[in-house]
Structure 1
């Protein structure tokens, strides 16, 4: 993250954030040289516009950042970030114009505007530092930016370097950094320890499937995060098209997100007993592949008629959710790149979530609005329960008909949860086009909303 916070403001350039509709008011307070310079350079305060105004007499160089109009700002997550990327290398200090209620979010966007996934290419040496406004908790913002960066890096990394083994190594590195305990169950040991669905989905891959189990914290309410870690999804024997497979390196986005949230929790030292469970597999094709029509056993004892090998995420999550329930936590929260139906319903920017608890739903919705990380509640609709009950087993992983796919997937997962309140988020984890502080590629969706909601969800 080459864009950082600066501690020394002595040589910082004053940055004036200018709403397009307030430009004339700002100019009215400036000297004639500034007014003429702004007019000659056609600076109108449009979103993303920048302008350096040279020194004159006793006045130092100043910088202007267009903040657009309220309607334009509503269309992007981090409006100021669009200007941050265009400013030359240097250190800047917010001098005026940034609304106090936007300061923390815009500071986060400023730092994230420097994000580049450059593991496989030449790195940029451009650094644009910010002296934040008074009152901004820079330590918190930095932790959030580091967590978001980790999520993006994990999702962006191709499966050649982000196999189930690599994902486990990333989780282990995080655990070691934060003083957490971690263990991993690998390969046939999954069968010995009763995780048959995780083993079934991952057994066709050259890299054995595994269950990652991380614990941190000795006091406070018990929170268990469960993340889907399908490091690549061919669709199995119900193979995806080449187009459908093109983004499947991101099918471990749920795992990346719960690790990012865990990083924030541990770095901020929240008073919780945290557990993170990640079933890490690759859904591959070989002579060991599971087949359409197979009846599969689960850790909970429920049988599943497998009617589509491309509906594998809910299978691996099922065993992990059953394990999570055995610990009787106060809250189980799962995140997964689970269904295309969720994208059809709300698009890529909004995260649908499911819960039976109205207070939890309100807390998560409020948090999403507060931190500009939009979420939207969908129902655990009881009327659709029959859709996931086939003739030959307890459950169907891929009901026919195609309707309400996100809801039926969530209902399937809920069957494996007991002894705890449950929230499930069906995420996308991908930015399809470049946007301020959100370049095309992996991106956090719902992670900041979840973290911001935790004090309410867990009564901290």
Structure 2
């Protein structure tokens, strides 16, 4: 299955798009028919980054397109994501296009229009739009367009979940999205809901979510050969975060529909893994809650039991994400997976350090860290390593419990959160923590403003490299 914006019939006529940098512009203009070259020069085309010129034919139709790549040192590997929004409807051939260019095209074509009149559904194209009325790309030779389309669809799912406001995307709706995904890929899915979380020894997930009328839950998807290497993904699913009794100010609460961005990234990565049929035993765990305020909300100073058996003193109810992740990580760790990965929109400190575009990751596995740095750059899904600096672990001390979940000061907040989570992992062979932002505040090529399942493509590429699909095999 490919994609409605990708045409695989290469016998069809397509308008050529010449992607060119300033260093090759003179040679290209020399090859163009005289009128076309004169027209490009008259338009002032200099092959600057993202610069686009439509060249007419003798009858006034569209003959070809010039697309500027900009200087070599500043090139964006997802720059082709600008084209779907700039080209009129039709079929195009992007000269020299590779896998990332095709992916960028589909990423850039994404639109979230669920709440616009007459629109419904989203598979990575504009919701409800006539695909024939949009710019489509002719499949480049040698590119696995079906595989790229699977990634684009999974990424669109993650973006949709983040972009959907909390009134329509609570814990139940997150669970429904995972259930639909399980049905699509013949996976199992179990859900522990409400007070059953206490009975099943997931007390911190229950404590964080109990103040909301929308019951908290733990979503547990399993897929793949039972005897394959075990890989577990955990995603923070806080559907909306008021901050609890440590209530957020209005300017910090307005975007809190995205506080389930970690869950969205984990779900997107799981969708990519299953669609690719990777040879692994996948488990996806999503603790889904709403951090609300009511008479039974958990309080600063409370001491909560945890699945791990550690007692946790609450320093601030607005640091709820690490609490629900801790129970889910402890559950995942009991199976001693080969690789345990969590995604979370966890700390403002991570954004202060690295900004919204570059999520930090933390791991004690040096080989894994090197792979992530390498693959992240190759996939245009970059991350940056922060240390799990052991001396800071002492800052989690509590005078009344086994540990506090915050340090009590503003230093090294992202690292402190990572150290807290690591306390709940001991059996997994490798543990990896992502502190993502989950949002694009200003549109970039291939990345429209709005929700973004950061690090999902990176993790899929990592797992593809480590656990490639078996020939003729199925993960289901």
**Same topology, TM > 0.5:** yes
Q: Which residue of 2 aligns with 1:274?
A: 282
Q: Equivalent residue for 1:396? A: 404
Q: Which residue of 1 aligns with 2:22?
A: 20
Equivalent in the alignment of 1:86: 86
Aligned match of 1:249? 257
Pairing partner for 1:438 from 437, 444, 447: 447
**Partner of 1:116 in structure 2?**
111
1:157 to 164, 187, 200: 164
Deviations along 1:261-320, whole A, 9 cap, x unmatched?
Answer: 000000000000000001000000000100100011001110000010001001001110
Structure 2: distance between partners of 1:192 and 1:164: 19
1:299 aligns with 2:299: no
Give the Cα separation in 2 of the matches to 1:330 and 1:72.
Answer: 38
- 8 Å CA contact retained: 2:194, 2:206: yes
Q: Does 2:47 correspond to 1:39?
A: no
Aligned to 1:206: 213
| Mean Cα deviation higher: 43-52 or 228-237 | 43-52
Deviation at 1:14, TM superposition (A): 1.7
- Given the two structures, how large is their TM-score scaled by the length of structure 2? 0.91
| SS of the residue 2:282 aligns to | strand
Bigger drift between 130-139 and 175-184 goes to 130-139
Indicate how the Cα distance of structure 1 residues 394 and 459 shifts in structure 2: closer, same or farther if over 3 A, else same. farther
Residue 291 of structure 2 is aligned to residue 283 of structure 1: yes
Unaligned runs of 5+ in 2: 120-128, 470-476
Aligned residue among 220, 223, 230 for 1:222: 230
CA contact (8 A) 1:224 1:332 kept: yes
SS at match of 1:61: strand
State the Cα distance separating 1:113 from its structure 2 match. 1.3
Partner of 2:122: none
1:64 matched to 2:66? The reply is yes
Q: Is the CA contact (8 Å cut-off) linking 1:15 and 1:65 kept in structure 2?
A: yes
**Cα distance in structure 2, aligned partners of 1:80 and 1:72:** 14
> For residues 452 and 63 of structure 2, what CA distance do their matches in structure 1 show?
35
Q: Deviations over 1:132-185 (max 9, x none)?
A: 321111011101111110111000000101000111011101111111100100
Give how far 1:455 is off. Answer: 4.2
- For 1:447, the equivalent position in structure 2 comes to 456
Q: What is the CA distance between 1:2 and its match in structure 2?
A: 8.9
CA RMSD in angstroms, aligned pairs only: 1.8
Q: Does 1:148 align with 2:148?
A: no
Is the CA contact 1:3–1:127 (under 8 Å) kept in the aligned structure 2? no
Instruction: Check 1:413–1:458 CA distance in 2 against 1; reply closer, same or farther (3 A cut).
Output: farther
Q: Aligned to 1:166, what secondary structure does the other structure show?
A: helix
Contact 2:279 2:467 in 1 (8 A): no
Take 1:31 and 1:286, find their aligned partners in 2: how far apart are those partners? Answer: 72
Is the Cα–Cα contact under 8 Å of residues 52 and 63 in structure 1 kept in the other structure?
yes
> Which of 30, 55, 58 matches 2:57?
55
Select between 337-346 and 12-21 the one with higher mean Cα deviation.
12-21
Taking the aligned partners of 1:214 and 1:459, their CA distance within structure 2 comes to: 20
The alpha-carbon distance between structure 1 residues 60 and 284, as it changes in their structure 2 partners (threshold 3 A), is closer
Q: Which moved more, 1:176-185 or 1:395-404?
A: 395-404
Structure 1 stretch displaced more, 144-153 or 64-73: 64-73
Find the aligned partners of 2:406 and 2:116 in 1 and give their Cα distance: 40
Q: Does 1:188 align with 2:192?
A: no
Partner of 2:126: none
Tell me which residue corresponds to 2:9: 8
| Partner SS for 2:7 | coil
User: How much has 1:51 moved relative to structure 2?
Assistant: 2.4
Q: Distance in 2 between matches of 1:377 and 1:176?
A: 36
* C-alpha contact (below 8 Å) 1:3/1:128 kept by paired residues: no
**1:331-350: CA deviations, max 9, x gaps?**
11001001111111111111
- Secondary structure of the corresponding residue to residue 375 of structure 2: helix
Q: Could you list the per-position Cα deviations for residues 365-389 of structure 1 after superposition, in whole angstroms to 9, with x for gaps in the alignment?
A: 1110111111111111110111011
Determine which of 371, 382, 386 is the counterpart of 1:363. Answer: 371
Q: Shift of residue 52 of structure 1?
A: 2.6
The aligned length equals 452
Change (3 A) 1:215 1:262: same
Shift in Å, 1:83: 3.2
SS at match of 1:80: helix
Tell me if structure 2 keeps the 8 A contact 1:17–1:67.
yes
Local SS of the residue matching 1:113: helix
For residues 390-432 of structure 1, give each alpha carbon's deviation from its aligned partner in whole angstroms, at most 9, with x where no partner exists: 1111111121111111111001001111211211100101000
